[in-house]
Amino acid sequence: MKLPVQRFKKLKSSIFIACLFCVISCSTNAQSDDNIEDPIEEEEIIEEETEETTDAKYDISSILAIYDNLSSVSYSISGTTVTFTTSNLPNHKSPYYKDTEWHDDLYEDYTGSNSSFRLNPNRIDEQDITLSIPLHPKKATSLTQTPMGPIGISRNGVVFFNQYAAGRADLDGEINSFDQFLGHPTGTSMYHYHIEPTFLTDTFGEDALLGLLSDGFPVYGPKEGNETITSSDLDEYHGHFGATKEFPKGIYHYHVTADAPYINGDGFYGTPGTVAR
Ligand SMILES: [Zn+2]
Ligand SMILES: [Zn+2]
């Protein structure tokens, strides 16, 4: 009668081992499921954070074609920098071409609507301006104020200036010398836009991409879809984050507005490259 008892004991211990095995293997499975799930969750979180804090992933190389086929501009990419060279001659008519070598082709008397317009004594001349701009613009960790002189390059090669006249005075004294396309030349014959370049918005649309500031972030016209943007819709740098035609996944971008500060606000959102002239 000993044998059956021993057999039963053996059976009992094999059931126990089998159960033990099951418990271990089940818990191992549970653990490995967790291991599969965790990285996905982490990836999703990282992606959300990247979208909120923006940048890093921005790449402006896809829009550089707007600068193709312009006799005034050339550009090249080296590493993470795009370098523009511009002669800065506007490709539209202006009273500031008066008596210059381009007079016959590009001079036009003032045709704008400002009854207080007065031609300043300066005339347009060729420049040799080089702007090196980051190809992957990023939000800056410290603020850089815009300099006097070029702060970016519009899509016809003419430079953007900030919202100040000499001595960081407001533009009121200068606005009456803006020509029919709202640009004018400096004492060094450098034509520039402080406000909406209406030749470009007339040509490409009020919601169009108009160029880049030196920090690599794009500048758009005063409309987004059918809505007219004002400075109160924008942050202190005069931009905001959102999808655009050229960047459907969203990018930080500036808008030109009819009200001051027009193109840029309190300095660059990103870290600017360099300007040489
Ligand atoms: Zn000016
Ligand atoms: Zn916008």
Centre of ligand 2 to C-alpha 33, Å, is 43
Centre of ligand 1 to C-alpha 192, Å, is 6
Centre of ligand 1 to C-alpha 165, Å, is 6
Domain ranges of the chain: 1-52, 60-276
Could you report the per-residue pLDDT of 180-212, keeping only the tens digit for each?
Answer: 999 999 999 999 999 999 999 999 999 999 999
Check residue 42 and give its pLDDT: 45
Check residue 18 and give its pLDDT: 47
Centre of ligand 1 to C-alpha 18, Å, is 86
Check residue 56 and give its pLDDT: 57
Could you report the per-residue pLDDT of 234-271, keeping only the tens digit for each?
Answer: 999 999 999 999 999 999 999 999 999 999 999 999 99
Residue 112 main-chain phi, psi, to 5 deg: -75, -175
- DSSP character at residue 185: E
Centre of ligand 2 to C-alpha 66, Å, is 19
On whether the CB atoms of residues 122 and 32 are closer than 8 A, the answer is no
Check residue 122 and give its pLDDT: 98
On whether the CB atoms of residues 46 and 120 are closer than 8 A, the answer is no
Centre of ligand 2 to C-alpha 216, Å, is 16
Centre of ligand 2 to C-alpha 232, Å, is 12
Check residue 72 and give its pLDDT: 97
Centre of ligand 2 to C-alpha 241, Å, is 7
pTM for the structure as a whole: 0.80
Check residue 88 and give its pLDDT: 98
Query: Residue ranges of the chain with pLDDT lower than 70?
Result: 1-56
